[in-house]
């Protein structure tokens, strides 16, 4: 299947009625007593080459939602379509022709240190995902060097270990690793929360440049409404597992209709010295 040439009109991601329930266990035999609904009947679309931000207070189900898209937590109910292809058992497509979801979608996490194996060199970290997909070691190294350059890390980084980088450099490394398989969609879960403010801006600019240059579609989770305002084309607001508002960023953020969105926007802290 040619995953580089999807119809540009079809959404990169389409989610219908997505529900994720976690079992609540108890008793001596740790039996399932009940279920906790972390994501409740959420629907949205992510247009190609756009950034959709998911906002909402801690524990409202943002991470669970994006993890369920790549199979890191099981979906209880609902449909996921990638470029119009239905997703099932980690593959997008039908029984005759399908593609691995991980070839199309990659996830970047908040903590760049814990998501990198400290015992592997950058060469091993970057090349492993594509060597596993049948790319030769030499071609994988060439691709890794190109991507290190793209995320502004020196080629000399190839022989280093994760602990030899700063936090911002490690996040650049995670971004480079996610791009090795040439995905079409990035899921970014609070990717700048652990970074210094000046480094945050660099990483956000890098993500937006990559979106333009590589035609990526990005799902972006953040608590920082300033960042969301600056970066997003669309915003989805979640509250206790529900999607309570979804629309163009300039409308949702300037003229919210839902009471919770209004409260969320009003709660952006301002710090004043006495
Ligand atoms: N594996 C799990 N088993 C049981 N409950 C879980 C699991 N993962 C998440 N939860 C629960 O689901 C709810 C949503 O968690 P989630 O991590 O998606 O929130 P979040 O919106 O990403 O929060 P934050 O902004 O703090 O990262 C929380 O109440 C959490 O305790
Ligand atoms: Mg989270």
**Over the stretch 57-76, which tens digit does the pLDDT of each residue have?**
999 999 999 999 999 999 99
State how far the Cα of 64 lies from the Cα of 83, in Å rounded to an integer: 21
Q: Taken in order 269, 43, 61, 67, is the CA torsion positive or negative?
A: negative
In terms of pLDDT, which residue wins out, 106 or 266?
106
Mean pLDDT estimate for the chain: 91
Question: Is residue 236 predicted with pLDDT exceeding 70?
Answer: yes
Residue 133 has what DSSP assignment?
T
Name the token pair of 6. Answer: 């999807």
| 113 pLDDT above the threshold of 90 | no
79 in helix, strand or coil? strand
Instruction: Return the structure tokens found at 143.
Output: 């691709």
Q: Which atom of ligand 1 is nearest to the CA of 65?
A: 18
Average pLDDT over residues 197-212: 89
Closest ligand relative to 74 C-alpha: 1
Residue with the smallest CA separation from ligand 1 atom 24 is: 58
pTM over 0.85: yes
Give the pLDDT band (50/70/90) at residue 155. confident
Closest approach atom of ligand 1 to CA 238: 21
What is the CA(60)–ligand 1 centre distance, in A? 7
Q: Alpha-carbon distance 80 to 77, whole Å?
A: 10
- Segment among 109-113, 233-237, 251-255 with least mean pLDDT: 109-113
The DSSP element (H or E) to which 198 belongs, if any, is: helix 197-214
pLDDT of residue 112: 73
Q: What's residue 272's pLDDT?
A: 63
What per-residue confidence (pLDDT) applies to 28?
Answer: 83
Mean pLDDT across the stretch 247-251? 94
Neighbours of 271 (CB within 10 A): 4
Residue nearest to atom 18 of ligand 1 (CA): 61
Beta-strand relationship, 242-248 and 234-239: antiparallel
Ligand nearest to the CA of 54: 1
**53, β-bridge pairs:** 220, 235
Tell me what pLDDT residue 52 has: 97
Q: How confident is the model at residue 5 (pLDDT cuts 50, 70, 90)?
A: low
For residue 37, the CA-to-ligand 2 centroid distance in Å is 15
What's the angle, vertex CA 71, arms to CA 49 and CA 223, rounded to 5? 55
> Rounded to the nearest whole angstrom, what is the distance from the C-alpha of residue 58 to the centroid of ligand 2?
7
Instruction: Please report which ligand is nearest the Cα atom of 39.
Output: 1
Find residue 109's DSSP bridge partners. none
- Please tell me the residue having the least CA distance from ligand 1 atom 10: 38
Measured in angstroms, how far is the CA atom of residue 57 from the centroid of ligand 2? 9
Q: Which ligand 1 atom is the nearest neighbour of the CA of 190?
A: 27
Q: How far is the CA of 139 from the centre of ligand 1 (A)?
A: 39
Nearest to 65 by CA among 181, 219, 183: 219
In this structure, the dihedral spanned by the alpha carbons of residues 247, 221, 183 and 85, taken in order and rounded to 10 degrees, is -50
Predicted confidence (pLDDT) at residue 197 exceeds the cutoff of 90: no
Q: Which residue has the higher pLDDT, 271 or 20?
A: 20
Length of the chain: 274
Contact residues of ligand 1, CB 6 A cut-off:
22, 36, 38, 56, 58-64
What domains can you pick out in the chain, each with its CATH number?
13-111+184-266 (3.40.50.300)
Report the separation in Å between the CA atom of 174 and the middle of ligand 1, taken as the mean of its atom positions. 23
């Amino acid at each position: 299947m040619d995953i580089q040439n999807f119809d540009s009109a079809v959404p990169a991601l389409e989610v219908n009625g997505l529900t994720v329930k976690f079992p609540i266990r108890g008793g001596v035999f740790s039996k399932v007593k009940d279920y906790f609904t972390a994501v409740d009947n959420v629907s949205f679309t992510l247009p190609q080459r756009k950034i959709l931000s998911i906002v909402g207070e801690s524990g409202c189900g943002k991470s669970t939602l994006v993890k369920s898209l790549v199979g890191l937590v099981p979906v209880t109910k609902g449909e996921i379509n990638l470029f119009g292809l239905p997703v099932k058992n980690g593959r997008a497509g039908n029984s005759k022709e399908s593609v691995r979801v991980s070839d199309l979608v990659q996830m970047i996490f908040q903590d760049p240190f814990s998501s990198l194996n400290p015992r592997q060199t950058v060469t091993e970290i970057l090349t492993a995902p594509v060597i596993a997909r049948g790319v030769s070691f030499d071609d994988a190294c060439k691709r890794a060097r190109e991507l290190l350059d793209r995320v502004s890390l020196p080629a000399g980084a190839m022989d280093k270990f994760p602990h030899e980088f700063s936090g911002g450099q490690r996040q650049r490394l995670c971004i480079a690793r996610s791009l090795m398989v040439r995905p079409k969609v990035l899921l970014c879960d609070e990717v700048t929360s652990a970074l210094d403010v000046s480094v945050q801006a660099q990483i956000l600019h890098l993500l937006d440049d990559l979106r333009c240059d590589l035609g990526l579609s990005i799902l972006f989770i953040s608590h920082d409404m300033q960042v969301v305002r600056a970066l997003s084309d669309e915003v989805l607001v979640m509250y206790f597992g529900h999607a309570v508002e979804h629309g163009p960023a300039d409308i949702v953020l300037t003229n919210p209709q839902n009471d919770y969105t209004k409260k969320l926007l009003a709660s952006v802290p301002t710090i004043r010295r006495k």
